[in-house]
Structure 1
Amino acid sequence: MNAQNDLGHGHSPAAWTAVVIMLVGFTVGTIAFFFEIAPVVWASAVVVLAGWITGGVMAKMGYGVKGPRYAPKAHS
């Protein structure tokens, strides 16, 4: 596949936002699981779900790879 057909492999504001939110949720959930703090584990599961939803909403708003508000940066 050449660079002209490359859609960015998810390097969009929607993808980055979703991944960062979900990464925070997973990290906090893992630490809470280690210390056996069940309410925080469940709250972090909700954060992961919120990250997934946020990414989808942002993609529908045009910030996804194929969205009109996404401007890919040139790779050097």
Structure 2
Amino acid sequence: MAGTSHGHTPAAWTGVIISFVGFCAGGVFMVGDSPVGFWASMGVVILGLVVGVIMRLMGLGMPKESAEMREAREAAGRAQVTTRTPAAETQQHARA
């Protein structure tokens, strides 16, 4: 997943931060025995989801991968595998 930059978008960061704040506040209200505050915080968690989806629809999320992009990525991966030589792999292992 690290190679796909999954989640590295303004929509993802904003939605997660809002939901995280709501989750933390919900924990505080739960310990403080405040059901109204707890459920309001759960509303903030849902709000984070809604904001993230709206931002993604506005174009601030990860674009869908087209068939051409997928084929190009796969071709680049195949080219990288075929250009490796045993000597290059030995040098890479020696550096590590």
TM bin, normalised by shorter chain, reads 0.7 to 0.9
Question: Following the alignment from structure 1 to structure 2, what is the Cα–Cα distance between the partners of residues 7 and 65?
Answer: 10
1:29-63 Cα distance to aligned partner (Å, 9 max, x none): 00100111111000001000000000000000000
Of the two, which has the highest radius of gyration? 2
Question: How much is the aligned-residue C-alpha RMSD, in angstroms?
Answer: 1.8
SS of the residue aligned with 1:11?
Answer: coil
Residue 42 (str. 1) matches residue 39 (str. 2): yes
Give the structure-2-normalised TM-score: 0.62
Q: CA deviation at 1:66?
A: 1.1
The CA distance in 1 between the partners of 2:42 and 2:23, in whole Å, is: 7
The aligned counterpart of 1:25 is 22
Q: Relative contact order (C-alpha < 8 Å, sep 6+): which is higher?
A: 1
User: Which 4+ residue blocks in structure 1 deviate beyond 3 angstroms?
Assistant: none
Matching of residues 49-64 of structure 1 within 5 Å: 49-64=46-61
Point out where structure 2 has 5 or more consecutive residues left out of the alignment: 65-96
Separation in 2, partners of 1:66, 1:27 = 30
CA contact (8 A) 1:7 1:65 kept: no
Identity over aligned pairs, percent: 42
Paired amino acid for 1:24: V
Q: How many residues align?
A: 64
